[in-house]
A = this chain, B = another copy of it.
Amino acid sequence: MAFDAIETPFGKVDKIVGGSATYVGYAASNFVTPIQQVSIVGYDFPKEEMDEMKKRGMQLEGVEIVPDKKSFFWSGKYHLDMNTRDTLITDLNVLADFNPVIPDSYQGAEFLMLGNLSPNIQSSVIEQLKVRPKLIVMDTMNFWMDIALDDLKKVLKKIDVLLVNDSEARQLSEEISLVKAARKILAMGPKFLIIKKGEHGALLFHENHVFCAPALPLEEVFDPTGAGDTFAGGFIGHLAKTKDISFENMKTAIIVGSAMASFCVEKFGPERLKEITKKDIDARLQEFVSLAEFELDLV
């Protein structure tokens, strides 16, 4: 839970609420509650945002509030094609000392989403849970592959689903072909691998199966910040709601995640996620069905 400053070809905001846990929480709470947040913020994180989160079924007992420090702050600028961005500022602030403590009330959680953070912190959260969750989903990024690859590989052995983008999958596996990359990554520990390809959708790999999820072609991507976390929130939210972690249901969960991400990019930060209703979500899901369905008679 943090602050971002974002500049896109369509406008800029100087300070807006962001952070993985924020996006995951806003997305997932459409499908299941309670969402038990684990995070750290400073004295500057708005009480109104926390109230809004609670109203939506997020529990914040696991969110440490540091009274004399500021929240994490990231500032970035997107290029014209919106696929690449430059990081302008990264102020770790409270995140420099983040050492999450899982509250007793969170014990027994069945679905765990580990946002992108240092592998050691991700690992510490898993270790603190007395009963292993039914499903552990983990996000990471190239930064941790560069500076903490060994630690990252240790966490990979403890999780069920890994989320990365295509270039990260190639970096982690040292393979160009995504099929070969997936095979190598699945051998590192996770039973499921999701490769996010931005405007080209996502691939889900499991054993010898693969599912290709489309991305909705959008007229305008206003701000891509948080789209990956929102995808993760929709994905695990659907799984937690249905309590079904089969490959078949993960395919559906990826469509749900994609639909949530398609809302996220329509406005700055998590704004749009706070506006949408179940009816909006249903209509968007229906668009995904139309987008991908076809009939086939064999030759």
Interface residues of A (CB under 8 A from B): 30-31, 80-81, 176-180, 182, 197, 199-201, 203, 209-221, 248, 251-252, 254-255, 278, 281-282, 285-286, 288-296, 298-299
Choose among B180, B200, B221, B282 the residue that contacts A201 (Cβ–Cβ < 8 A). B200
Set of chain B residues within 8 Å of A292, measured between Cβ atoms: 211-212, 214, 292, 294
- Of A176, A219, A296, A299, most buried by chain B (CB within 10 Å of CB) is A299
> A212 near B218 (CB under 8 angstroms)?
no
> B177 near A299 (CB under 8 angstroms)?
no
How many copies altogether? Answer: 2
Contacts beyond the supplied A179-B217, A278-B299: 16 A-B pairs with Cβ under 8 Å: A80-B176, A177-B219, A178-B199, A179-B219, A180-B219, A182-B217, A197-B200, A201-B212, A211-B292, A212-B291, A214-B292, A248-B294, A252-B294, A255-B296, A282-B298, A289-B296
- Of A201, A214, A291, most buried by chain B (CB within 10 Å of CB) is A214
Considering the chains assembled together, what is the distance between the CA atoms of A285 and B294 in angstroms? 12
Q: A287 — nearest CB in chain B belongs to which residue?
A: B210
Set of chain B residues within 8 Å of A290, measured between Cβ atoms: 209
Set of chain B residues within 8 Å of A254, measured between Cβ atoms: 294
> B197 near A217 (CB under 8 angstroms)?
no
> B81 near A176 (CB under 8 angstroms)?
yes
Considering the chains assembled together, what is the distance between the CA atoms of A80 and B176 in angstroms? 9
Give 8 A-B contacts (CB < 8 Å), ordered by A residue. A177-B219, A178-B217, A212-B214, A212-B217, A252-B294, A255-B294, A285-B296, A285-B299
- A184 CB to nearest chain B CB (Å): 12
> B203 near A217 (CB under 8 angstroms)?
yes
> B200 near A248 (CB under 8 angstroms)?
no
Considering the chains assembled together, what is the distance between the CA atoms of A45 and B201 in angstroms? 43
- Of A30, A251, A286, A294, most buried by chain B (CB within 10 Å of CB) is A294
Considering the chains assembled together, what is the distance between the CA atoms of A203 and B221 in angstroms? 18
Set of chain B residues within 8 Å of A294, measured between Cβ atoms: 211, 213, 248, 251-252, 254-255, 292
Set of chain B residues within 8 Å of A219, measured between Cβ atoms: 177, 179-180
Considering the chains assembled together, what is the distance between the CA atoms of A255 and B294 in angstroms? 8
> B200 near A291 (CB under 8 angstroms)?
no
Considering the chains assembled together, what is the distance between the CA atoms of A26 and B199 in angstroms? 33
- A98 CB to nearest chain B CB (Å): 33
Q: A219 — nearest CB in chain B belongs to which residue?
A: B179
> A291 near B210 (CB under 8 angstroms)?
yes
A-B pairs, top 3 by smallest CB distance, nearest first, are A212-B214, A200-B200, A251-B294
